[in-house]
């Protein structure tokens, strides 16, 4: 789908399909000379789902991100994207890495044109759409600014917009709000929930922030030494940041903390 087509999809229960857009089967990976980080790891993310991947620092979240996006190749196992066994996966998902988000020598607009340059589409044609998106993202008139002139939250929104500009249905975000203060983070949560509610996208969201994972997700995968645990988040939508004070949320948080403690 061209996200700039002006067509907006309203998410409803019927919008969720049961077919996995991402399917990982028996994935094993080790860095050279190290013991495996994962062994026979499997996961599924269905079209339209918001799934978080949580785990302690060093548990392998970013490594899994790199394997899915094609920046690393698995030793064993299969990665399926959109029903295709993905050999050369680079460019088949929209992704936002944990670090090095924006190119400092490029303006906001030039950063946003990067995915379009890669696919060799006409940049001129897409610029009006990009400017419209910047305005929607609260960044009107910032197209000529350089990343260092933006606040943390603004940088994250530009980076997320660049991920959207790939036009891909599956978005993988590696700790996108990890470096933000709690107030900005909270605003970004509302913003992301609203956007995800409107766009027909599937999100795999990597974080080590439990509250963030519960607030945003349909399901959570907990990555630990024993592999992955699949946890359902049975909290109603639409959600907002007030949810964190509700007893069902607090119970879920305690349960997750217990599962993480069992891992360590």
| Structure token pair of residue 251 | 């119970």
60 binds, among Mg ion, ligand ATP, none (CB under 5 to 8 A by kind): ligand ATP
Nearer residue to Mg ion within complex by CB, 49 or 174: 174
Nearer residue to ligand ATP within complex by CB, 71 or 109: 71
State the residues that interact with Mg ion by CB under 5 A: 61-62, 98
CB of 164 to ligand ATP, least distance (A): 23
SS3 of residue 175 by DSSP: coil
| Helices and strands in the chain, H and E counts | 8, 10
CB of 37 to ligand ATP, least distance (A): 5
Rounded to 5 degrees, φ, ψ at 111 are -65, -40
Nearer residue to ligand ATP within complex by CB, 48 or 60: 60
Could you tell me the CA-to-CA distances from 192 to 50, 134, 162, 173, 241 in Å, in that order? Answer: 11, 15, 14, 12, 12
What's the DSSP call for residue 201? -
CB of 160 to Mg ion, least distance (A): 17
| Non-local CB neighbours of 248 within 8 Å, separated by 6+ positions | 234, 235
57 binds, among ligand ATP, Mg ion, none (CB under 5 to 8 A by kind): ligand ATP
The count of C-alpha atoms lying within 13 angstroms of the C-alpha of 261, restricted to the half-sphere facing its C-beta, is: 6
CB of 94 to Mg ion, least distance (A): 18
Nearer residue to ligand ATP within complex by CB, 29 or 133: 29
Nearer residue to ligand ATP within complex by CB, 60 or 176: 60
14 binds, among Mg ion, ligand ATP, none (CB under 5 to 8 A by kind): none
State the residues that interact with ligand ATP by CB under 6 A: 31, 34, 37, 55, 57-63, 98, 208
Nearer residue to ligand ATP within complex by CB, 9 or 31: 31
126 binds, among ligand ATP, Mg ion, none (CB under 5 to 8 A by kind): none
Beta strands of 55-197 (E only): which ranges? 76-81, 84-85, 94-96, 170-174
In whole angstroms, give the CA distance from residue 215 to residue 193: 9
CB of 87 to ligand ATP, least distance (A): 22
| Nearest of 112, 71, 113 to residue 91 by alpha carbon | 71
CB of 174 to Mg ion, least distance (A): 6
């Amino acid at each position: 789908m061209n996200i700039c087509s002006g067509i907006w999809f309203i998410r409803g229960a019927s919008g969720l399909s049961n077919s996995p857009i991402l399917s990982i089967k028996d994935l094993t990976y080790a860095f050279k000379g190290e013991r495996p980080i994962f062994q026979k790891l499997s996961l599924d993310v269905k079209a339209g789902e918001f799934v978080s991947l949580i785990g302690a620092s060093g548990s392998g979240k970013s490594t899994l991100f790199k394997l899915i996006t094609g920046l690393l190749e698995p030793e064993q196992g299969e990665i399926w994207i959109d029903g295709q066994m993905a050999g050369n996966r680079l460019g088949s998902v929209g992704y936002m890495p944990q670090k090095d988000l924006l190119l400092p020598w490029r303006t906001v607009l030039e950063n946003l044109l990067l995915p379009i340059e890669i696919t060799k589409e006409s940049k001129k044609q897409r610029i009006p759409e990009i400017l419209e998106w910047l305005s929607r993202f609260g960044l009107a008139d910032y197209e000529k600014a350089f990343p260092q002139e933006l606040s943390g939250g603004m940088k994250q929104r530009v980076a997320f917009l660049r991920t959207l500009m790939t036009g891909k249905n599956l978005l993988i975000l590696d700790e996108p709000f990890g470096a933000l203060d709690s107030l900005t983070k909270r605003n970004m949560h509302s913003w992301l929930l609203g956007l995800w509610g409107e766009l027909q996208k599937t999100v795999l969201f990597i974080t080590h922030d439990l509250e963030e994972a519960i607030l945003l997700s349909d399901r959570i995968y907990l990555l630990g030494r024993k592999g992955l645990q699949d946890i359902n988040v049975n909290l109603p939508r639409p959600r907002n940041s007030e949810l964190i004070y509700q007893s069902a949320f607090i119970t879920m948080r305690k349960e997750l903390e217990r599962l993480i403690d069992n891992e360590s």
